[in-house]
Amino acid sequence: MIDIKFLRENPEAVKENIKKKFQDDKISLVDEVIGLDAESRKTQQEADDLRADRNRISKEIGKLMGQGKKEEAEEKKAEVAAGAARLASLEEKEKQLNDKITKIMMTIPNMIDPSVPIGKNDTENVEVTKYGEPVIPDFEIPYHTEIMERVNGIDLDSARKVAGNGFYYLMGDIARLHSAVISYARDFMIGRGFTYCVPPFMIRSDVVTGVMSFAEMDAMMYKIEGEDLYLIGTSEHSMIGKFIDTIIPEQELPKTLTSYSPCFRKEKGAHGLEERGVYRIHQFEKQEMIVVCRPEESPMWFEKLWQNTVDLFRSLDIPVRTLECCSGDLADLKVKSFDVEAWSPRQKKYFEVGSCSNLGDAQARRLKIRVNGEKGKYFAHTLNNTVVAPPRMLIAFLENNLQADGSIRIPEVLQPYMGGQKEIK
């Protein structure tokens, strides 16, 4: 969420930012919120004046009563009573205006970084760097669920009966591989100095609206009926929420955490052939990383975070590339974002396996995550990135480690998590 003071002083810059995100229908909101803000400040000033008058008159009443001037004191009391009615009206108006302003401000997109490429949607994202040499083997790579089925590693039919489409049973060595990847990712991030955490898997509505836009919330979140609780779509939500309404001593920054959680998502919309199986599902598990830091350090941490994911995938011999998300593909709270994509020998192209985002102070402003520094209090910057999200990551793993005889090679770094096993046959 943008600082209202910044919007008030830089309306044209905010409008230009909205145009860069191809959300022209929101341009009129800038002038609307400026008008509401002016009315709110005028209302607040009148209310403050009435409060000051009330305090002044109350002191006069005390003096008059002390002097035995009861009639004059009663006249002043009547004056206070009349002002109280007007003050109550102004306070209600002020609340209504501030609620309207907040609602609008939460729909105006955050200011994007000047380096973000301008484009309408994900088709205009820009490739940054490739890591590793993509290989196309001289044998056919089956669809990922077929690879799993050949080793009795997945049961989709039973899952449909139990929970419907978008769910799965992972079995045997594939289930073990899934857990091995999560455990390896956990230890990988601990080795990079991050503190391991298992967070709550449900969060309240004030945290939901603090960490994501209304559009994302509607498309992703499952609500618990009858309670102010939502199932998390990613542990980033509860990890950033951990710092809600806190003042962090500057010397304690940065906060660097890596977290495990199951994730639950509606995944609305049509799914293509390549997104069936375990690619786009309602339930999965993920290792995440988040950082809460000083504003001047967030660009440095952004570079470190996406590099962690690249390094993890390369340690598993999986070729990857980074894509910079263009302006139209950035969620409203994001300042800058990279996608990490893994190579698919079957599709002969890359596909998304993680996303790294710098949100500036947008989440901190909504959640009131402040830092107490030498020059006073200020809002922290927050960042998040996917370490690894199986079972989607398993697609890349299986395709890149499938051998001609149908067996699946297990990279050396994963073997300790698989009981020393070197292949799945």
Give me the residue spans of the domains in the chain: 4-105, 122-424
- What proportion of the chain, given as a percentage, has pLDDT over 70? 97
For the domain 4-105, what is the CATH code? 1.10.287.40
pLDDT, mean of residues 326-334: 95
Instruction: Please state, rounded to an integer, the average pLDDT across all residues of the chain.
Output: 92
The set of residues, in sequence order, having a beta carbon less than 8 Å from that of 401 and lying 6+ positions away, is: 317, 408, 409, 410, 411
Question: Does the 122-424 domain belong in CATH 3.40.630.40?
Answer: no
C-alpha–C-alpha distance, residues 274 and 342, integer Å: 14
Asked whether the predicted pLDDT for residue 176 surpasses 70, the reply is yes
Exposure string over 166-181, b if 16+ CB within 10 A, otherwise e: bbbebbebbebbbebb
User: Is residue 81's pLDDT more than 80?
Assistant: no
DSSP string for 269-292: S---GGGTTTTS-SEEEEEEEEEE
**Integer Cα distance of 132 and 341 in angstroms:** 12
Residue 66 vs residue 208, higher pLDDT:
208
Task: Check if the beta carbon of residue 294 is closer than 8 Å to that of residue 380.
Answer: yes
**Contact between 319 and 343 (Cβ < 8 Å):** yes
As a whole number of angstroms, the distance between CA 341 and CA 259 comes to: 21
The pLDDT-based confidence of 77 (bands split at 50, 70, 90) is: confident
Band (pLDDT 50/70/90 cuts) for residue 246 is very high
Question: Per the confidence metrics, is the pTM higher than 0.75?
Answer: yes
Rounded CA-CA distance 190/197 in Å is: 10
- 131/319 Cα distance (integer angstroms): 6
d(CA 20, CA 366): 23
Range in 80-89, 159-168, 218-227, 384-393 the model is least confident about: 80-89
- Looking at residue 270, what is its pLDDT? 46
Cβ neighbours around 62 below 10 Å, total: 12
Structure tokens at 336: 């800058």
Can you state the angle between helices 298-315 and 172-191, rounded to 10 degrees?
Answer: 140
Q: Which of 20-24, 162-166, 215-219 has the lowest mean pLDDT?
A: 215-219
Angle, nearest 10°, between helix axes 172-191 and 392-401? 100
- Same topology, domains 4-105 and 122-424? Answer is no
CA dist 37 to 40, 45, 107, 223, 417, Å? 5, 12, 16, 33, 57
Sorting pLDDT into bands at 50, 70 and 90, what band is 96? Answer: very high
Long-range contacts of 148-157 (CB under 8 A, 24+ apart): 148/174, 148/398, 150/406, 151/408, 151/424, 151/425, 153/177, 153/424, 154/278, 156/277
Burial of 129 (0-12, 13-18, 19+ CB in 10 A): exposed
DSSP H or E segment with residue 81: helix 70-105
Cα separation, 379 vs 374, whole angstroms? 14
Which pLDDT does position 72 carry in this prediction?
A: 74
pLDDT of residue 50: 83
- DSSP-assigned letters across all residues of 310-378: HHHHHHTT--EEEEEPPGGGS-TT-SEEEEEEEEETTTTEEEEEEEEEE-TTHHHHHHTEEEEETTEEE
Average pLDDT over residues 330-343: 96
Instruction: Answer for the pair 188, 315: CB distance below 8 angstroms, yes or no.
Output: yes
